[in-house]
Structure 1
Amino acid sequence: METLQVGRAKLTWLNGGVTHLDGGAMFGVVPKALWSRKYPVNEKNQIELRTDPILLQIDGKNFLIETGIGKNKLNEKQKRNFGVLEESNVEQALNQLQLTPSDIDGILMTHLHFDHACGITKWQGDVLVSTFPKAVIYANEIEWNEMRHPNIRSKNTYWEDNWKPIETQVQTYSNELEVVPGLKMVHTGGHSDGHAIILFEDGEESFIHMADIMPTHAHQNKLWVLAYDDFPVTSVHQKEKLMNWGYSKRAWFTFYHDAYYRAILFDEKGEVEKSVKRERYEYI
């Protein structure tokens, strides 16, 4: 498992499964001739998108950033449509680190779309229960409200199976929440109305997790946003602001979906200075 130390925070990427989604949808109005130079595409015009949670260990606490695609949460049609060739093995990955789901103190949900939230619940017999029973689940209040009351479009991605079993664990916030000193969740909107990003600063070291405003390294161009975005212009403006902040801070940019990079540190000009590449291997 790949790891990264940023100040007093240690990040470890777990195995949350994989999807393959339409490249055109993932790059919006950007022509395929341009985006396909940056990110490989298969014969079905799909790109590989991991759904790998990040274990964030800081100040004696264990947090997860996102929860993966889950296990046995999708039917065969959904697996086919979303290109799910591998389901989550988060519990096995935690076991390799001498941890269990009950050791997770908090879950930082940037948003609650199914590909981020399916791992938040699991089947226990024929009943869905919380995967992480002792964790506080942090989500923006706008996102949490839409999760429970989706509109005609968003009901395809906000699933009751992913919120009913954990509703007593959820803690919401409006604009910004400091989870522990230096670690913040900040509401951005854009990809969804309640989308948030995660910022961490510890002295001169920092990381930024932009979630689906910048899902892969190939989305570095501030104008390259997803067709899935509910508010694409908001995504563009937020992305420009946050990337300028990250460049100026020489912050690590971390990824949940990227199949090739776990994290990249850009210099002040936006050039890659350091990176953590994803190892391709079979998980136990």
Structure 2
Amino acid sequence: MESITIGQTKLTWLKGGVTHLDGGAMFGVVPKPLWSKKYPVNENNQIELRTDPILIEKDGKYLLIETGIGEGKLTEKQRRNYGVTEESELEASLGKLGLTSDDIDYVLMTHLHFDHACGLTKHIDGEEYTSVFKHAKIITSNVEWEEMKHPTIRSRNTYWKENWEAAKNQVHPFENDIEVINGIKMIHTGGHSDGHCIVVIEEERETIIHMADLMPTHAHKNPLWVLAFDDYPMTSIEQKQKWLALAKEKQAWLTFYHDAIYRALKWNDEGEVIESVKREI
């Protein structure tokens, strides 16, 4: 499992599953001859997208960014449509670190689409659902939480009641921004979804910015390269411009949940990768 440390804060990537989605949808109006130079694509025009949660260890607390696609929650049709080749091994990953799901204090949900939120709950006896992280506070924006409970005609295919009903009493929604623990903030951005958030970690003059689905892979660096899935693409563009400018100013690490190549990286002023943590194949 790959990791990165700044000061006393350690991030470790866990196994949350993998999907393969249409490359055209993932790069919106960008022509394939352009985006395919930046990110591998298969013969079905699909790109590999990890769904790997990030474990944060700081001050004796354990925080999780996202929860993966779960295990046994997708139908055969869904597995086929979303190109799922691996389901989650989240609890096994925690076990390798000497932890269980009961040790997680906070779950930071940048948004609640199925590929981020399926790991919040699991089956009991194949019928009922129960919360996976029974002692955790689940943090997400109030806007996102309300849409999760009351999806629109567009979003109901990704906001599933199976992913929230069993854990609803653990959800702590926030407005605008929140400092979850010292040095770790969630900030509401909108864009990909109306309630989408990013995570910013600061310690000892170092910064990590987790852009979530504003920049799902390193190949989405261009602010104009936004997803066809984005509900508010102009907001995504504005927020990408803002936070990439800050990352450049602070020489910040950028971390990824979906990227099949990089876990984290830094770019220089010329857009060259100067430091990186690559995913181990």
Same fold by TM-score greater than 0.5: yes
Matches within 5 A, 1:129-278: 129-278=130-279
- Aligned AA (1:28): G
**Alpha-carbon distance between aligned partners in 2 of 1:269 and 1:275, rounded to the nearest angstrom:** 16
- Aligned AA (1:207): I
**Alpha-carbon distance between aligned partners in 2 of 1:140 and 1:231, rounded to the nearest angstrom:** 16
Q: 1:273: Cα distance to partner?
A: 1.0
Superimposed CA distance per residue, residues 20-79 of structure 1 (whole angstroms, 9 cap, x where no aligned partner): 000000000000000000000001100000000000101110010000000011000000
State whether residues 247 and 270 of structure 1, in contact with CA within 8 Å, keep that contact through their aligned partners in structure 2: no
**Alpha-carbon distance between aligned partners in 2 of 1:124 and 1:278, rounded to the nearest angstrom:** 33
**Alpha-carbon distance between aligned partners in 2 of 1:219 and 1:60, rounded to the nearest angstrom:** 34
SS in 1 for 2:156: helix
Aligned to 2:280: 279
**Alpha-carbon distance between aligned partners in 2 of 1:253 and 1:270, rounded to the nearest angstrom:** 13
Aligned to 1:105: 105
Whether 1:25 and 2:21 are equivalent positions in the alignment is no
Aligned to 2:124: 124
- Aligned AA (1:11): L
Q: 1:269: Cα distance to partner?
A: 4.1
**Alpha-carbon distance between aligned partners in 2 of 1:80 and 1:71, rounded to the nearest angstrom:** 15
State whether residues 6 and 204 of structure 2, in contact with CA within 8 Å, keep that contact through their aligned partners in structure 1: no
**Alpha-carbon distance between aligned partners in 2 of 1:108 and 1:22, rounded to the nearest angstrom:** 27
Q: Structure 1: which 4+ aligned runs deviate by more than 6 Å?
A: none
Aligned to 2:86: 86
Q: 1:228: Cα distance to partner?
A: 0.1
SS in 2 for 1:200: strand
- Aligned AA (1:165): A
Whether 1:7 and 2:7 are equivalent positions in the alignment is yes
Aligned to 2:67: 67
**Alpha-carbon distance between aligned partners in 1 of 2:215 and 2:256, rounded to the nearest angstrom:** 8
Unpaired runs of at least 5, structure 2: none
**Alpha-carbon distance between aligned partners in 2 of 1:97 and 1:26, rounded to the nearest angstrom:** 33
Superimposed CA distance per residue, residues 216-252 of structure 1 (whole angstroms, 9 cap, x where no aligned partner): 0000111100000000000000000000000110110
Aligned to 2:35: 35
Q: 1:9: Cα distance to partner?
A: 1.0
CA-atom RMSD in angstroms: 0.7
**Alpha-carbon distance between aligned partners in 2 of 1:159 and 1:149, rounded to the nearest angstrom:** 10
Aligned to 2:44: 44
Superimposed CA distance per residue, residues 84-127 of structure 1 (whole angstroms, 9 cap, x where no aligned partner): 01000000000000000000000000000000000110112121
**Alpha-carbon distance between aligned partners in 2 of 1:269 and 1:182, rounded to the nearest angstrom:** 29
Unpaired runs of at least 5, structure 1: none
- Aligned AA (1:250): Q
TM-score, reference length from structure 1: 0.98
Number of equivalences: 280
